[in-house]
Structure 1
Amino acid sequence: MRLSVTSWSFPALTLLEVAWVARALGLDAIDVGLFYRSALDKAEILSDPRAAAEPLRGLGVAIANYYHLFGDGLADRNIALSGSVAANLRDLERVLAFAEAAAIPTVFVLPGIVNPGQSREAAARVAAQSLRVLLEVPGARQRLCVEPHVHSWAESPALVRRLVDETGVRLALDYAHFACLGYRQEEVDPLAPHAAHVHLRQARPGALQAKFAQGTLNVPAMLGTLRDAGYDGYVALEAVHQDYMGTLFDDVLTETVALRDAFNHWRG
């Protein structure tokens, strides 16, 4: 396993500055996305994937993962929304071409929400149907993964495991989203064999992000579970400063260093 850091952890920094911070912390990879000052140009990714990939080669770090939103926000064109799959399919072909050109091993998308008029069961059914189509795009089974998250339809380990069983999709696994909702770490552990990418931050029941010393996640146990499950990809440090779920109040740099040190101490 190797460390990266998410570019959206530092909303005021440019992408190059995020790369500099990563290197200063001894990290050789970053995750990229569509948010804040470091945002990639989504329109360029969809219109000219190779041109969009070119600037990433000059950052001096590897790109561990790309976080893609199909629509404008969490609701627009989410994969649990009926009628969105055709447009998302067209975009995914371009996104995967971009990832290949930029040597990005994984791309994660979100599982979708419970849309107006839906039940959770209906959202799960549409999302599974959509994913089965999306995973037929060449390269999707190697690169595409889904991140279960708070406020999606996929908020329990059991629902996520059912999605994996029904589609074969792999996961961008973040234990914090489950811990926040009160699930025990051992309830999340069975998802580890299905991880294609991992996010790491501290959390506790009721708090999606906690200061390292105040969280309830057992980080060494988590890392050991991932290793024993055969995971050998990136572990992305994802302490954030966002107006979402009370994550505006932590010193992101201090928390990132604490997470890095915990990983390095466990690795020995």
Structure 2
Amino acid sequence: MAMQLSLTAWSLRACTLAEAAGLSRVIGIGALDLGYFYGPALDRAQVLAAPEREAEAVRALGVDVPNFYHLFGTSLGDRNLAEPGNRERNEQDFAAVARFCRLAGIPTLFVLPGICNPGQGRGEALKQSAESLRRLLPLAQREDVQLTVEPHVHSFLESPQLVLDLLDAVPGLKLTLDYAHFVCLGWRQDEIDPLAPHAAHVHLRQARPGALQTKVHQGTINFEAQLATLKAAGYAGRLSLEFVHQDYMDTLHDDVLTETITLRDKVRAWQA
């Protein structure tokens, strides 16, 4: 099966969910990743309290929803997976979210791996996060949903080797893979490529060292090489276009729609 495109709802922060779904169809994509933050989004309290009702509303959007982004708290640190005191509440919430995903027909679910909490280094954070993820994984599997983590800037998981260490510690875990987070930190693209076989979902945007997001023609990611790497790894999931307008990492300076369509066309040209 060929890789297909999706669009992240949080790219379209001035739209309603219905408008974001419609725009995804208009630009020929017809798929939309969902989450809780930055613009058209679901309400976390409603997803947790009434997963059946929220799933029905998602199905009514009329587009595929390949991936759902669940954040346990209200920030990168709040209730993060490397803090063991959060586990009981997180597991309770996650069971409802996994059920929601199954009912809504969302095959992959991504969470963040956690941060270096007070008193922790990367090794201890990885150990605690792995334990949390080992407890969450059966809850996702029970609903036939693939649990993934997204390595990201400011997490403890900021090197490809640490990512592989975490995957070794949690058999069955997969990645929502965004090369931009590693490129921003200065990793070469060929150093990131070994993560491709572990991807269950992929985010695409341009980046360069020091900048999480740049215009398509001003960054250092070689998309043609990245797509070839994913194809060689057997990846057949969605490629979600994730240009954003956010205060996180100063991603405030790009015309999101123009860059999204430019990258869409670049992917299509390579596939053709």
With the length of structure 2 as denominator, give the TM-score of the two structures: 0.96
Unaligned runs of 5+ in 1: none
CA distance in 2 between counterparts of 1:94 and 1:144 reads 14
Aligned residues: 268
Q: Deviations over 1:174-229 (max 9, x none)?
A: 00000000000000100000001000000010010011111100101101111110
1:235, CA displacement in angstroms?
0.5
Q: Residue 252 of structure 2 aligns with which residue?
A: 248
Query: What are the equivalent positions in structure 2 for 1:105-184 lying under 5 Å apart?
Result: 105-139=107-141, 142-168=145-171, 169-184=173-188
Looking at structure 1, the residues matched to 108 and 80 of structure 2 have their Cα atoms a distance apart, in angstroms, of 19
* Aligned CA-pair RMSD: 1.1
Gaps of 5+ in 2: none
Q: Displacement of 1:138 after TM fit?
A: 4.9
Contact 2:197 2:235 in 1 (8 A): yes
Inter-partner Cα distance in structure 2 for 1:8 and 1:95: 19
User: For residues 240 and 37 of structure 1, do their structure 2 counterparts lie closer, same or farther at Cα, with a shift above 3 Å needed?
Assistant: closer
Alignment-derived partner of residue 222 in structure 2? 218
Q: 1-side partners of 2:38 and 2:110: how far apart? A: 18
| Distance of 2:40 and 2:11 partners within structure 1 | 10
Distance 1:72 1:249 in 2: 24
Q: Indicate whether 1:263 and 2:272 are aligned.
A: no
Matched, 1:231 2:241: no
201-210 or 133-142, larger mean C-alpha shift: 133-142
**C-alpha distance after superposition, 1:222-265 (max 9, x if no partner):** 01111110110111000000011121000000100011001100
The 2-side partners of 1:2 and 1:254 are apart by: 19
How far residue 37 of structure 1 moved from its aligned partner, in angstroms, is 3.2
User: What TM-score, normalized by structure 1, do the two folds share?
Assistant: 0.98
Q: Deviations over 1:148-190 (max 9, x none)?
A: 0000000000100100111121000000000000000000100
Give the superposition deviation at 1:111: 0.4
Q: What's the counterpart of residue 31 of structure 1?
A: 33
- How many angstroms apart in 2 are the aligned matches of 1:50 and 1:203? 38
Q: CA deviation at 1:136?
A: 2.1
Q: State the alpha-carbon separation in 1 of the partners of residues 258 and 201 from structure 2.
A: 23
- State the identity %: 56
